[in-house]
């Protein structure tokens, strides 16, 4: 069990240097799917590595093309892992709370869809217009909420 102080510390980093949302990700056979994501970027590797140790996910160094910029450490979580981490950090988030709510709402919607889809043979699984529009709505809201310089309350 992760201590509340650690979760609130990490939520502060997510609020300041993090990104929460739903993105399109390539799947098999040229198809695309919506996936929840959470990432933290910082020039100091301590917090990204701490997130990898506590939650799993990927941690890597991004070296910018411009020599005047510092290398940035990044930690990423996607899918189920992103949902689980956001659910744990949610009570401590302030600035990124709307993005977290969008991710959590998307996850609940998608899990309801999966329950239904598991009853249908694979060859007949299609995303109907209404369902497609709902997924695109989560994607658009995620994009709007993650624009720089816009404050959402």
Q: What is the pLDDT, as a whole number, of residue 146?
A: 83
Check whether 120 has a pLDDT greater than 80.
Answer: no
Non-local CB neighbours of 75 within 8 Å, separated by 6+ positions: 39, 40, 41, 47, 48, 49, 51, 52, 57, 58, 59
Pairing of strands 58-62, 32-42: unpaired
May I ask the CATH class of domain 4-145? alpha beta
Dump pLDDT digits (tens) for 58-103: 999 999 999 999 999 999 999 999 999 999 999 999 999 999 999 9
How does DSSP assign 93-141, residue by residue? Answer: -STTHHHHHHHHHHHHHHHHHHHHHTTS-GGG----HHHHHHHHHHHHH
Q: What pTM, to 2 d.p., does this model score?
A: 0.83
Evaluate whether 54 touches 13 at the Cβ level (below 8 Å): no
Check whether 40 has a pLDDT greater than 80.
Answer: yes
Looking at residue 60, the DSSP 8-state letter turns out to be: E
- What proportion of the chain, given as a percentage, has pLDDT over 90? 59
Q: What is the pLDDT, as a whole number, of residue 119?
A: 65
Check whether 151 has a pLDDT greater than 90.
Answer: no
Rounded-to-integer distance, Cα 44 and Cα 54, Å: 17
**Phi and psi, residue 23, nearest 5°:** -130, 165
Whose tokens are 């506590």? That residue is 54
């Amino acid at each position: 069990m992760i201590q509340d102080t650690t979760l609130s510390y990490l939520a502060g980093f997510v609020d300041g240097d993090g990104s929460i949302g739903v993105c399109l990700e390539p799947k098999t056979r040229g198809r695309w799917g919506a996936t929840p994501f959470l990432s933290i970027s910082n020039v100091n590797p301590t917090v990204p590595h701490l997130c990898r140790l506590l939650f799993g996910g990927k941690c890597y160094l991004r070296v910018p093309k411009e020599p005047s910029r510092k290398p940035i450490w990044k930690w990423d979580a996607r899918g189920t892992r992103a949902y689980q981490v956001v659910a744990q950090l949610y009570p401590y988030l302030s600035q990124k709370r709307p993005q977290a709510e969008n991710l959590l709402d998307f996850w609940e919607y998608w899990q309801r869809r999966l329950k239904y889809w598991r009853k249908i043979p694979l060859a007949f699984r299609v995303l109907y217009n209404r369902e497609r529009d709902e997924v695109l709505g989560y994607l658009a809201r995620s994009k709007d909420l993650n624009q720089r310089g816009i404050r959402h309350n």
